[in-house]
Amino acid sequence: MHIDGTTGVVALLGHPVAHSKSPEMMNRAFQTAGLPYIYAAFDVAPEALGDAVRGLRALGVRGWNVTIPHKVAIMEWLDEVDETARAIGAVNTVVNDNGRLVGYNTDGTGYLRSLQEETGLDVTAQRVLIIGAGGAARAVGHALATAGVRHITVANRTTEKAEELAAHLGQWTATDVVGLADINRVLEETTLLVQSTSVGMYPHVDEIPIAPSGLHDRLIVSDLIYRPKWTRLLQEAKKRGARVHSGLGMLLYQAVLAFEHWTGRPAPVETMREVLEASLQGE
């Protein structure tokens, strides 16, 4: 790729970022689309976030992704936050619109697009159980609730956080909270299980967030982890006849939507998918 003074810059801000698959995926996407952009990852410590944003604004960087631990803190440094990101309470994509920084959240929408494309699920007919109450659970819960899910149960190690998320999602749908010890009882009535914690993520691939005995063949089990693509939870669910959905699609489509925010052009979805799949081979 030819790089000169007219080449646009897009970035990733996080801490750490060395493990990220985004630079390879995004740079290939820009090349495939014939767009003069480069994508770079910057490891930014929390105390340096404000300086980093001021620098990116001054340099005219077109936009950037935001990952852990900056998705909430970034909001105070932006000029505007769109309605969905404000409702979720976190930003994962920033667009520099002629010097005005606008924040979006593509996580929930990306998840929903992946879920519906891969499973054909009618979300309005589902009874949902979300394990976890962090930022990912908040984004996915908001997407499901606003798409018409009629009931969401939240289970989390810390009951207070579960109650906070359930109260937040209660603006759009019926919610309740269950203790981790009582999950199997709730699973009996659940049709969509969403696992949003880091339990089972590489390198701790043998870990599982719940006892597999409660999994059943009326479930769709969706794990937001993408490394490995098929977590132990998904493997155990498949053994018991459940349909499974990995986190790779959410990773893909949140990036697709970010690409489209920055460029105003359709993203080369299949190219991006191929890069992700290749980068995770053997994991």
Q: Has 92 been labeled as part of a binding site?
A: yes
Sign for the CA dihedral angle at 275, 248, 253, 18 comes to negative
Is 67 marked as a binding-site residue? yes
Confirm whether residue 22 is marked as ligand binding.
yes
202 labeled binding residue? no
Q: Is 224 annotated as a binding residue?
A: yes
Short-list 156, 158, 150, 164, CA closest to 194? 156
Count CB-CB contacts under 10 A for residue 160: 10
| pLDDT single digits (tens) 104-159 | 999 999 999 999 999 999 999 999 999 999 989 999 999 999 999 999 999 999 99
Nearest to 233 by CA among 198, 269, 209: 209
Which pLDDT does position 283 carry in this prediction?
56
Sheet (strand 243-245) strand order: 174-178, 151-155, 127-131, 192-195, 220-223, 243-245
Given its phi and psi angles, is residue 120 left (phi above 0), alpha (psi -120 to 50 degrees) or beta?
Answer: left
* Catalytic-labelled residue, pool 71, 229, 238, 239: 71
pLDDT at 178: 96
pTM for this predicted structure: 0.92
**Residue 247 annotated as binding?**
yes
| CATH 3.40.50.150 describes domain 108-246 | no
Averaged pLDDT in 10-residue chunks for the chain of 283 residues: 89 94 95 97 98 97 95 96 96 97 97 96 96 94 97 96 97 96 93 96 94 96 94 98 97 97 98 93 64
What's the pLDDT score for residue 281? 78
The domain made up of 8-105+251-279 has a fold known as Rossmann fold (3.40.50)
The annotation status of 279 as a binding-site residue, yes or no, is no
50 is in an annotated binding site: no
Residue 20 labelled as part of a binding site: yes
Start-end of CATH 3.40.50.720 domains in the chain: 108-246
CATH 3.40.50.10860 region(s) of the chain?
A: 8-105+251-279
Q: Distances in Å between the alpha carbon of 4 and those of 7, 8, 269?
A: 6, 9, 26
- Give the E-state strand segments of 16-56 in sequence order: 37-43
- Chain-centre distance of CA 64, in angstroms? 15
Chain centre to alpha carbon of residue 235: 21
Residue with tokens 């290749």: 278
Q: What pLDDT is attached to residue 233?
A: 98
pLDDT at position 282: 59
| SS3 state at 175 | strand
Does the annotation count 229 as an active-site position?
no
21 with 252: CB under 8 angstroms? Answer: no
**Cα–Cα dist 32/35, whole Å:** 8
